[in-house]
């Protein structure tokens, strides 16, 4: 297996040198034999961005979550139908009639990769760490309906007082402060995965920073990641409770950010998947190996509301009006992504009374209107007392996001005279750090749904949210979100109205600028079968995938 890995890297290096010379022609025989020379069930996979961390408490990006979910399982997992089902839990949990108490019994054959059993205390410890303000977990807010979580996050109570109890090594009880319809979906999300207390304590700040500093209890272990490198492996975990259902022996992963490079690698049979964007999507549209996956994910521009100029709503609206979303998705991105008129993606959640999709009911708040934008910019200049402004636009450094950054820069500078946009495209890990440190004016970012509920998006702009990097604050918006979680929590129709009104408010205030709903086009080895794809939460699951001989 190590020899195969070396061959994979050498092939990548060779193709990088010749990548720009590719003509887009396909080589079906090469694609079909990408893994046949590996001597078994070995897959060569590509990723668009690097890993940021393997610590489920500190994880914030989807790529890290995607891969750690192959190594660690929670009480529940998402099945092929998108439903939460037992994983480390031995069976479906019991829920009290008032919806406030959940009880789960754990499997007695789940073990960590160091041989220790997975116990109820591993969940208690991990969740206490999640809500501990000293940990600084961005996803802590997801635990807000667990008893005492808000008081702990505010520093008013100790983490040990969280309403989660290890009744025994194999039984856990969770107390909520209010019914939470999506709670079981949360339990399948990576932020709620368990951690071995002794191991985490021993590793300290090093926990999750490399493959040597994390334990697995899932179908694979993560190997050969040094914390910064662009390669890592998923290796079958023989101690996994369902190891007999896992057919892949190894998944060799390499980050490749240039589309032409990864496509050429696929065509030469060196990799089993190639993410395709831009013109190459059109060139390969009829290729039988093309697979398109639509995501419950919105790409958007976040404003830094601490910037005195960007506190002007007219200026923010003007920026949104000069971006032609149809042109962006059709001519710049070209990967199947679609223009979007609001914050929530289409086909995500529906009105509990009428069944109408949230995005359809909300309607479109965005349009391409340069004349209107220029009028608003003129009014904003008069209000701000300036003629020229320079903004930084921070985004990822992969090929797709660089093109989007350049397009946005051109649209703003060409249509709003006096505004200059300086691009700063950096590795995703650095972009996340810059966002957390408030070091941006415009942030090119996105959000993929962790669970199927509109609150998963609305929470992002709550004034105290850890994901509100732009520091947007609106008391009326906060009040609507609070109402949806308290007064109207058990009234689906009223709760829906709260969330719909909150969405209308942020769109009319140009709090952020949604760009498009993401889709992903890949070339995939047709012999690679059994991958489970999810539009919500972790995006793919290779645990039951296999190479068809």
Residues 211-236 have a mean pLDDT of 97
Tell me: the pLDDT tens digits for 419-456? 999 999 999 889 999 999 999 999 999 998 888 899 99
pLDDT of residue 26: 36
pTM equals 0.76
DSSP 8-state code for residue 44: E
- The sign of the torsion formed by the CA atoms of 468, 100, 147, 165 equals negative
pLDDT of residue 335: 85
CA-based end-to-end distance of the chain? 18
**Residues 183 and 143: beta-carbon distance below 8 Å:** no
Out of 16-25, 67-76, 316-325, which region has the weakest mean confidence (pLDDT)?
16-25
Q: 22 versus 179: which is more confidently predicted? A: 179
How far apart are alpha carbons 473 and 142 in whole angstroms?
A: 19
Measure CA 366 to chain center: 24
Please say if the pLDDT value at position 1 is more than 80: no
Residues 506-522 have a mean pLDDT of 95
Tell me: the pLDDT tens digits for 287-309? 999 998 888 999 999 999 999 99
Tell me: the pLDDT tens digits for 93-134? 999 999 999 999 999 999 999 999 999 999 999 999 999 999
DSSP 8-state code for residue 106: B
pLDDT of residue 336: 86
From the number of C-beta atoms within 10 Å of its C-beta (0-12, 13-18, 19+), residue 79 rates as middle
Put residue 537 in one of left, alpha, beta given phi > 0 → left and psi -120 to 50 → alpha: left
Contacts of 109 (CB under 8 A, 6+ apart): 241
What percent of the chain is predicted at pLDDT more than 90? 80
Please say if the pLDDT value at position 9 is more than 90: no
pLDDT of residue 334: 86
**Residues 507 and 368: beta-carbon distance below 8 Å:** no
Strands (E), 27-178: 42-47, 76-78, 84-86, 94-95, 101-105, 164-168, 171-175
DSSP 8-state code for residue 47: E
Q: What is the chain's mean pLDDT, rounded?
A: 91
Residues 323-352 have a mean pLDDT of 93
| Listed residue (269, 201, 196, 327) closest to 524, CA to CA | 269
Q: What angle do CA 63, 295, 528 make, to 5 degrees?
A: 70
Please say if the pLDDT value at position 255 is more than 60: yes
pLDDT confidence bin for 4, thresholds 50/70/90 = very low
pLDDT confidence bin for 194, thresholds 50/70/90 = very high
pLDDT of residue 21: 34
DSSP 8-state code for residue 91: S
**Residues 460 and 467: beta-carbon distance below 8 Å:** yes
How far apart are alpha carbons 445 and 470 in whole angstroms?
A: 11
């Amino acid at each position: 297996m190590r020899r195969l890995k070396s061959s994979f890297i050498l092939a990548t290096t060779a193709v990088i040198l010749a990548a720009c010379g590719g003509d887009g022609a396909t080589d079906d025989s090469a694609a079909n034999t990408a893994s046949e020379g590996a001597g078994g069930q070995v897959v060569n996979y590509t990723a668009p961005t690097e890993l940021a961390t393997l610590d489920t408490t500190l994880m914030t990006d989807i790529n890290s979550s995607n891969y750690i979910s192959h190594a660690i399982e929670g009480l529940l997992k998402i099945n092929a139908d998108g439903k939460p089902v037992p994983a480390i839990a031995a069976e479906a949990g019991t829920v009290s009639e008032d919806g406030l108490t959940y009880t789960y019994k754990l499997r007695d054959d789940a073990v960590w990769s160091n041989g220790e059993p997975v116990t109820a205390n591993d969940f208690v410890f991990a969740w206490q760490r999640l809500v501990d303000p000293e940990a600084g977990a961005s996803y802590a807010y997801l635990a807000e309906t667990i008893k005492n979580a808000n008081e702990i996050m505010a520093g008013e109570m100790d983490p040990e007082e969280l309403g989660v109890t290890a009744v025994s090594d194999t039984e856990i009880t969770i107390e909520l402060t209010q019914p939470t319809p999506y709670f079981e979906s949360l339990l399948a999300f990576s932020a709620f995965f368990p951690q071995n207390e002794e191991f985490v304590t021993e590793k300290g700040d090093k926990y999750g920073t490399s493959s040597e500093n994390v334990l697995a209890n899932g179908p694979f272990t993560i190997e050969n990641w040094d914390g910064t490198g662009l390669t890592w492996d998923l290796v079958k975990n023989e101690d996994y409770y369902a190891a007999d259902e896992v057919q892949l022996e190894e998944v060799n992963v390499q980050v490749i950010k240039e589309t032409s490079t990864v496509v050429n690698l696929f065509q030469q049979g060196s990799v089993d998947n190639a993410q395709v964007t831009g013109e190459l999507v059109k060139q390969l549209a009829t290729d039988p190996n093309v697979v398109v996956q639509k995501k419950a994910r919105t790409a958007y521009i976040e404003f830094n509301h601490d910037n005195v100029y960007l506190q002007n709503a007219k200026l923010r609206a003007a920026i949104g009006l000069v971006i032609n979303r149809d042109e962006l998705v059709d001519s710049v991105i070209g990967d199947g992504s679609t223009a979007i008129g609001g914050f929530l993606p289409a086909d995500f959640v529906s009105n509990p009374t009428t069944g109408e999709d949230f995005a359809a009911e909300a309607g479109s708040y965005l349009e391409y209107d340069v004349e209107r934008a220029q009028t608003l910019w003129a009014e904003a200049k008069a209000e701000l007392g300036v003629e020229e402004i320079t903004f930084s636009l921070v985004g990822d450094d992969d090929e797709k996001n660089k093109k989007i950054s350049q397009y946005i820069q051109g649209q703003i500078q060409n249509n709003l005279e006096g505004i200059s946009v300086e691009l700063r495209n950096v590795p995703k890990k650095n972009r996340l750090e810059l966002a957390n440190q408030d070091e941006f004016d415009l942030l090119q970012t996105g959000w993929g749904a962790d669970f199927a509920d509109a609150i998963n998006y609305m929470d992002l702009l709550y004034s105290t949210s850890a994901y509100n990097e732009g520091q947007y604050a609106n008391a009326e918006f906060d009040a609507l979100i609070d109402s949806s979680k308290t007064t109207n929590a058990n009234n689906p129709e009223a709760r829906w109205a709260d969330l719909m009104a909150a969405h209308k408010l942020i769109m009319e205030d140009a709090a952020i600028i949604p760009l498009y709903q993401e889709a992903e086009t890949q070339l995939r080895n047709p012999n690679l079968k059994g991958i489970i794809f999810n539009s919500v939460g972790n995006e793919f699951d290779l645990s039951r995938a296999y190479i068809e001989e």
